[in-house]
Amino acid sequence: MQEFPFDELDDLYQKIILDHYRNARNKTNLAHPDIEYDEFNPICGDQVVLQIKLNAGRIAVAGFHGEGCAISQASASMLTDMLEGKTLEGAKGLAEGFRDMMYGRSPEGGDLAALGDLQALKAVRRFPVRIKCALLASIALEEGIEQFLTERSK
């Protein structure tokens, strides 16, 4: 693991991030996912493969696998934990709200609570080079949904 460079982070945020890194939720390789997207961050060699199984238009299961720095893997764990039961539209809204927070904008509707544990990653904003690490899983989510919708409309 890469060193966790955030000694000055708020203790609570650091605890949440490290907990998701060490005890990652939904870290699995799903068989026959409806959506799968492999996203890579060359800056620190992070990889997240995000997978989703749908049922009646909603996300039934979300999982990920990959490797990389604590931020990228914790973020994938936090994000996949928020997806079950959401429509693809809802999942996109979550990714957009998260990106807004990471870039210092208020999410649409100003609803930070809707981001769940992802809120802890706002501490990473102070390290601009690591923002891509934090966003990696949500980029995979948005690209994966885009790919799924494009293929379906063919």
Q: Which one of 44-52, 54-62, 81-89, 108-116 is the stretch in contact with Zn ion (CB under 5 A)?
A: 44-52
46 binds Zn ion (CB under 5 A): yes
- Token pair, residue 127, equals 């390290």
Nearer to Zn ion, 92 or 122 (CB): 122
Considering only residues 14-33, where is the footprint of Zn ion by CB under 5 A? Answer: none
Closest of 30, 5, 29, 28 to residue 17, by C-alpha: 5
Q: What's phi and psi for 127, nearest 5 deg?
A: -125, 80
134 binds Zn ion (CB under 5 A): no
**What's the CA gap between 126 and 6, in Å, rounded?**
10
72 binds Zn ion (CB under 5 A): yes
Q: Which residue in 17, 76, 88, 133 binds Zn ion (CB under 5 A)?
A: 133
What order of strands is seen across the sheet that includes strand 46-55? 35-41, 46-55, 58-67
80 binds Zn ion (CB under 5 A): no
Q: Which one of 26-34, 64-72, 78-86, 92-100 is the stretch in contact with Zn ion (CB under 5 A)?
A: 64-72
Closest of 90, 91, 115, 92 to residue 102, by C-alpha: 115
44 binds Zn ion (CB under 5 A): yes
HSE of 11, CA atoms in CB hemisphere, 13 A: 0
Q: Name the site residues for Zn ion (rule: CB under 5 A).
A: 44, 46, 69, 72, 133
